[in-house]
Amino acid sequence: MHAPVALRPSLRTRLFGSAGNGLATLVLGGLLLALLVPMLHWGLWRAHWSGDALACAGGGACWAVVAEKYRLILFGRYPFEAHWRPLLASLLLLAMLVASCRAWLRGTPLRAGRWATAWAAVLLAGWLMMRGGVAGLALVETDRWGGLPLTLLLATVSSALAFPLAVLLALGRQSALPAVRAACTVTIELVRGVPLVSVLFVASFMLPLLLPAGFTVDVLLRVLAGITLFAAAYMAEVVRGGLQAVPAGQRLAAQSLGMGYWQVQRNVVLPQALSAVLPALMNNFIAIFKDTSLVTIVSLYELTGALDLALNADALWRPYKLEGYLFIALVYFGFCLALSRTSERIAQRGARTTGAARA
């Protein structure tokens, strides 16, 4: 009851605290209103929600294109009658992500071995379910995978594989051995110094030229390796920041108890370092999730590329790509919002845990 009253002085100070602030508020508010009303008029009031392409010719947004093409947009070129397979694989991945986040937020002890085994089982089950060739499932080659399941697969698998590599690179960059430190530093800076597009081109087109004659690697695996290396380089710097936040005295105290290097890192340093940078690692995952849209340039049609496949071949629906892209933007926004909220809750829980420990 008192919240709106309490907010009024603050809003008045921020929006109309001076003549300049008041003028800026009025101008920006007017511009926003001038843009918002036509957008609502086009996207809601005059929109077409069902029917064929001819019914959308009267103006307004044609959301009927989503109702007509949503399966092609979400699943790409995957066989229509087998769409339940990528759907189930995506649900498994999402369930594992939710279970991992909820377990950490509730303070459930996370035994690394058990969670690694569970993740490996889920990823293997999802891969076999989508590829088939076992248990009576028809074989579907990876070049026919696409849509949202491919986006989730690339983001999740690359991040899961990149994490242990990032930890090793971060530890190596702080190593007392000059050769190890130099190798890790060069690897991180070299990968971070080029865009992901160039990494995908190397993995997709140049790597096969370096392989022995007659030996080939699936394009999806090559792209996955490129994204994993790219993600690991960025994660390594995040992990290194967490390592630097751990006081050196704790390392010395652990060494004085007779612990070896790896015992110190596993039992003392890494738990604190990773807890401190979990929100940053989540942000890194969000960035990788969005960057998977670049794989379209190497003929892997994830969510964004699947839209082009769905509409380019149909001249009637092709003029309504904007509505399709807005639908895809909404999907990305929903996933990224959920991940960012989870990251925020993780940060809050970490701050409470740190405060309680200090008290």
pLDDT tens by residue, 157-183: 898 899 999 999 999 998 888 999 999
Q: What is the pLDDT of residue 320?
A: 85
Each residue's pLDDT tens digit, 25-55: 888 888 888 888 888 888 788 888 887 777 7
What is residue 190's predicted lDDT score, i.e. its pLDDT? Answer: 92
Question: What residue type is 188 in one-letter code?
Answer: I
Q: For 9-22, what is the mean pLDDT?
A: 73
Choice between 10 and 241, residue whose per-residue pLDDT is larger? 241
Q: Are 86 and 73 in contact (CB under 8 A)?
A: no
Interval 266-311: pLDDT, tens: 888 888 888 888 888 888 889 999 999 888 888 888 888 888 888 8
pLDDT attached to residue 83: 92
Instruction: Please name which of 304, 254, 12, 284 lies closest in space to residue 147, comparing C-alpha atoms.
Output: 304
| Per-residue pLDDT at 87 | 93
Instruction: Round the average pLDDT of the chain to a whole number and report it.
Output: 84
Helices (H), the chain: 3-16, 19-40, 64-75, 84-105, 112-131, 147-173, 178-192, 196-201, 207-210, 219-245, 248-256, 261-264, 270-276, 278-291, 303-312, 321-358
If one compares 239 and 17, the residue with the highest pLDDT of the two is: 239
